[in-house]
Amino acid sequence: MRTTVLIVDDHPSFRRLARRLFEEAGFTVVGEARDGQSALDSARALRPDLVLLDVMLPDISGIELAERLPPEVSVLLVSSRSAEDLAIGSRRFLRKDELTLDRLRAVAGGTG
Amino acid sequence: MTGRARLGWYCVLVAGPLFVVFGELGFWLNGITPRETFPLDLGVSSLSIASGLVLWRLRPDNRTGALLALSGVLWTIGGIRAYRDPWAFGVGQCFDGSQDLVLAHLLIAYPTGRLGRRSLRVLVTAGYGLFVLGVVKTATMDMPRQFNAFAVWHAPRVHSALGTIGSVGAGVYATTGIAIVGSRWLRAGTTRRRVLGPVLLAALLFAFADAVDQIVLAITGSEPDVVFFPPLVARLVIPLAFLFGLARARLDRVAVGDLVRELDASGAETMQSALARALHDPGLRVGYRLGDRDAFIDSDGRPLALPVDGSDHAVTYVSRNDVQLAAIVHERALLEQPALVEAVSAAVGLALDNERLHAQLRNQLQELRASRTRLVRTADSERRRLERDLHDGAQQRLLALGLALNMLRARVRDDDAVQLLAEAQEELATAVRELRELARGIHPAILSDQGLAAAARTLATRCAVPVEVTANGRRFPPAVETAGYYVIAEALANVIRYSGASRAWIEIGEANGLALIAVGDDGVGGADAGVGTGLAGLADRVGALDGRLVVTSAPGSGTTVRAEIPCA
């Protein structure tokens, strides 16, 4: 069974390309959200296996939103900034320019 | 003073003492009262008349002087009843006690000498009705006309009843007068209390002495000789109290010379307190005119609001050479002493001008400081906006491009094309990294998002020596956090460049409304905050927020950079 993904980012171009990247990596993208509140609503309704979550959303920090998502949902935080710039800690994180098919396939393996 | 007025005053000065002595001599000659009270009787008349005339001369606009002199005249007229003459007795008897009606009028009208409110005018008119009662009382005395020329109706019962009514009425009237002054005193500010206080005290003293007199009279049926004295002594104090209360302003004007000497000796910074002392108004404020603007500032250069109409305070403007220098905000009661205020204003004109220039300078410094703070805040805000624009704009487009290249690379089978794509991706990664560094240098995002403590920890992780961070995570205002961040970043950069330290530490805390940010190391010390360390610019940034930067760097003892920035 393919891993389902919810993509949360406020930049449409990134969402569009991320969707294609995930689909090419073998994921099923079940939805997209542009801010924290709609992400929370979508996650509760769609119950994805993985949420690709931008750290800097217009209404809420991705780190804070991750704490409020259903516990069974895996979260992969992404940002154009580095982990040390964001004090990500031990959470799963990738810089956006590090998102590659190989890495996503590895993530898919870890998520399923 | 005109020649006619001067002649009038001379007549008063000559005839007054003769009149007074004549009026009081009857008691002494005929032994009606103890002879020892004669000097006191004489003193009451002469002091009341003399004090009244002096006050009349000093404050011709105030009726208190005239009324006080009238009370002394009436006291003297009342005294002629002691002469063994039916007309003198009748007249004296009619006027006996009338001086107290005038004194009550004085109390009620004090300190302006004017009654003002209609209710007070009615009260005083009713009080003078007691004089009519006294005349009727004289006419009803049970004595032959060869002793009392006014005894036209022998009616002892009516006389007795009128006596009781008169005594009770006079008591109520006097008590009301004292209560009115007491109430004014309670509501008054310092200036007005200085005027009301002596009179209120004298009135209370007299009321007490008279009450004791009446009680002794009621108990014993007659006044022992010793009881004559306290009310008479108290009566002596009353005119002096009126004189003292109203003439104080005159004495204060004499003290204006001391004010000028005091200002010369101690400098203009005591201007407000010196004026407050000279005008006996502790709440007095001095506002200095701000250039040509219709605005005033205090000695610290802060804006000073002038009182509105109808408030307890009033404004006296001080000018010099037709230039308005300052506004003195004082109790409204001081307007009753315009001569004093004018004398003080004139005396301190030059010092006020100097102080005005100082206040203007301080105001300009404050505006400069505020302007510098605004500049720093605006610059910080612009940096945040620029960083956000880079993040949302160019950076996102480059990242999207990177994703597209990544997907394209998966589809391309030609090795040359794959190689080219790999190089393009490498270039793109470099561009993204450089852009990220640039954005971080413009404004660290973590500072806005998570605060100074988190940003400090990030800086610590990047430092080449171990750095211990102590912070409770409390958020400070953005400008404070930004200044603190750059202090920490610069201090850590100096640790690496110059200190030779093996470890460093960062402390972030708060005490007494100050954000305390300190960076220390165990290096060689000997740093000069002013030379090439970048700390001088930071001191300006911290100073723009009314804070201060202290560098402690004794040779061999490490370096500590400590910033204290108001954050309340």
Sign of the Cα torsion B162, B167, B168, B172 reads positive
**B227 or B446, higher pLDDT:** B446
Whole-number pLDDT of residue A112: 43
Least confident of B124-128, B199-203, B488-492, B538-542: B538-542
> Is B305 a domain residue?
yes
* Residue A64 sits at the chain B interface (C-beta within 8 Å): no
Q: Provide the pLDDT for residue B474.
A: 86
Instruction: Give the per-residue pLDDT at B503.
Output: 94
pLDDT at A8 over 80: yes
Per-residue pLDDT reduced to its tens digit, A83-105: 777 777 767 888 888 888 888 87
Per-residue confidence (pLDDT) for residue B531, from 0 to 100:
59
d(CA B16, CA B303): 57
Task: Using pLDDT thresholds of 50, 70 and 90, give the confidence band for residue B170.
Answer: confident
pLDDT computed for residue B249 by the predictor: 64
Has residue A32 got a pLDDT over 90?
Answer: yes
pLDDT (average), residues B71-86: 85
Is the residue at B261 inside a domain? no
Q: Are residues B411 and B317 in the same domain?
A: no
pLDDT of residue B519: 95
Do B360 and B401 reside in the same domain of the chain?
A: no
Q: Is residue B535 part of a domain?
A: yes
Same domain, yes or no: B315 and B351: yes
Could you list the residue range(s) of the whole structural domain that residue B220 is in?
3-251
3-state secondary structure string across B6-48:
HHHHHHHHHHHHHHHHHHHHHHHHHCCCCHHHHHHHHHHHHHH
**Shared-domain flag, residues B14 and B132:** yes
- Is the pLDDT at B532 greater than 70? The verdict is no
Residues B230 and B88 in one domain: yes
Residue B30 shares a structural domain with residue B126: yes
Pick from B83, B22, B28, B73: which is nearest to B47 by CA? B73
Task: Give Cα separations from B382 to B377, B386, B388, B436, B437 (angstroms).
Answer: 8, 6, 10, 17, 17
pLDDT of residue A37: 93
Q: How many domains does chain B have?
A: 4
* Domain end call among B251, B280, B315: B251
- Identify the CA nearest to B122 among candidates B105, B107, B99: B105
Helices (H) and strands (E) in chain A, counts: 5, 5
Does residue B485 surpass a pLDDT of 80?
yes
Contact status of A7 with chain B (Cβ, < 8 Å):
no
pLDDT at B414 over 50: yes
* Alpha helices in B267-318, H assignment, sequence order: 271-278
B287 and B340 co-located in one domain: yes
Contacts of A96 (CB under 8 A, 6+ apart): A14, A78, A79, A80, B399, B402, B403
Q: Are residues B522 and B434 in the same domain?
A: no
The pTM of the full predicted model, rounded to 2 decimals, is 0.51
Asked whether residue B504 is domain-assigned, the answer is yes
E strands, chain A, are: 4-8, 28-33, 50-54, 74-79, 93-95
With respect to residue B370, please indicate whether it lies within any of the assigned structural domains: no
Rounded Cα gap, residues B550 and B563, in angstroms: 6
How many angstroms separate the CA atoms of B299 and B314, rounded? 19
**Location of structure tokens 């561009």:** B431
* pLDDT tens readout for residues B269-314: 467 887 888 778 888 888 888 777 778 888 777 888 888 887 888 8
Residue B262 has pLDDT above 70, yes or no: no
Inter-residue contact B456 to B506 (CB < 8 Å): yes
Three-state secondary-structure class, residue B324 = strand
Answer yes or no: is pLDDT of B558 > 70: yes
Residues of B with CB under 8 A from a CB of A: 391-392, 395-400, 402-404, 406-407, 410, 428-429, 432, 436, 439-440, 444-446, 449-450, 454, 457-458, 461-462
The whole-angstrom separation of Cα A18 and Cα A41 is 20
H or E element in which residue A36 lies? helix A36-46
Residues in chain A: 112
The nearest CA of chain B is from the CA of A26 a distance in Å of: 13
Does B231 share its domain with B86?
Answer: yes
What six digits make up the tokens of B484?
């603190």
For A86, the closest chain B residue by CA position comes to B446
C-alpha span between B206 and B223 (Å, rounded): 17
Q: How confident is the model at residue B227 (pLDDT cuts 50, 70, 90)?
A: low
In this predicted structure, the answer to whether residue B382 has a pLDDT above a threshold of 50 is: yes
pLDDT tens-place string over residues B12-53: 777 777 777 777 777 667 666 666 777 888 888 888 888 888
- Ranking A46-55, B81-90, B104-113, B224-233 by mean pLDDT, the lowest is B224-233
Q: Give B497-515 pLDDT, tens digit per residue.
A: 888 899 999 999 999 899 9
Does residue B203 sit within a domain? yes
Q: Does A102 touch chain B (CB under 8 A)?
A: no
Examine the domain organization and report whether B87 and B184 are in the same domain: yes
Q: Which of B400, B458, B462 sits opposite A87 (nearest CB)?
A: B458
Position with higher pLDDT, B337 vs B66: B66
How far B404 CA lies from chain A's nearest CA (Å)? 7
B446-467 burial string, b = 16+ CB within 10 Å, else e?
bbbbbbbbbbbbbbbeebebeb
What is the DSSP secondary structure assignment for residue B391, as one 8-state letter? I
Query: Percent of chain B having pLDDT more than 90?
Result: 11
B521 in a structural domain = yes
Which residue is closest to A10 within chain B, CA to CA?
B392
Range among B44-53, B153-162, B182-191, B558-567 with highest mean pLDDT value: B558-567
pLDDT of residue B269: 47
Sheet holding B504-511, edge to edge: B467-471, B504-511, B514-521, B560-566, B548-552
Chain A CB contacts of B404 under 8 Å are: 17
pLDDT category at A6 given cuts 50, 70, 90 is very high
A20–B402 C-beta distance less than 8 A: no
CB-CB under 8 Å, A97 with B429: yes
Q: Which residues contact residue B95 at a Cβ distance below 8 angstroms, ignoring those fewer than 6 apart?
A: B74, B77, B78, B134
Inform me whether the C-beta atom of residue A58 falls under 8 Å from chain B C-beta atoms.
Answer: no
- Measure A35 CA to nearest chain B CA, in Å: 14
Q: Do A17 and B404 touch (CB under 8 A)?
A: yes
- Chain B: nearest CA to A25, how far in angstroms? 10
Residue A48: CB partners within 8 Å, gap ≥ 6? A4, A5, A6, A30, A31, A73
* CA–CA gap between residue B384 and residue A92 (Å, rounded): 27
Q: Are B22 and B41 in contact (CB under 8 A)?
A: no
B399/A61 CB distance under 8 A: no
User: Are B383 and B359 found together in one domain?
Assistant: no
Mean pLDDT across A38-58:
92
- Average pLDDT (B475-486) is 91
Contacts of A85 in chain B (CB under 8 A): 436, 440, 444-446, 458
* A11 exposure class (CB count in 10 Å sphere: 0-12, 13-18, 19+): buried
**Nearest CB to B399 within list A82, A85, A97:** A97
Please provide the average confidence, as pLDDT, over all residues in chain B. Answer: 83
CB contact under 8 A, A87 and B446: yes
Q: Does domain A4-103 have CATH number 3.40.50.2300?
A: yes
Across the A/B interface, how many CB contacts are shorter than 8 Å?
70
**Rounded Cα–Cα distance for residues B274 and B84 (Å):** 61
Give B142-209 as a DSSP string.
SS-TTT-TT--S--HHHHHHHHHHHHHHHHHHHHHHHHHHHHHHHH--HHHHHHHHHHHHHHHHHHHH
Q: How confident is the prediction for chain A on average, in pLDDT?
A: 86
Any B CB within 8 A of A90 CB: no
Cα R_g (chain A), whole angstroms: 12
Tell me: do B429 and B457 sit in the same domain. no
Tokens of A45: 């309704």
**What would the mean pLDDT of B96-104 be, rounded to a whole number?**
88
Q: Are A97 and B454 inside 8 Å of each other by CB?
A: no
Structural domain boundaries of chain A? 4-103
Give a yes or no: residue B393 inside a domain.
Answer: yes
* Pair type for strands A50-54 and B467-471: unpaired
B379 vs B476 pLDDT, higher one: B476
* B444 contact residues in A (CB cutoff 8 A): 85
Q: Do B454 and A61 touch (CB under 8 A)?
A: no
What confidence score (pLDDT) does residue B516 get?
95
Q: What is the mean pLDDT of residues B393-422?
A: 88
pLDDT at residue B436 greater than cutoff 60: yes
Q: Is the pLDDT of residue B452 over 60?
A: yes
- Which amino acid is residue B480, in one-letter code? V
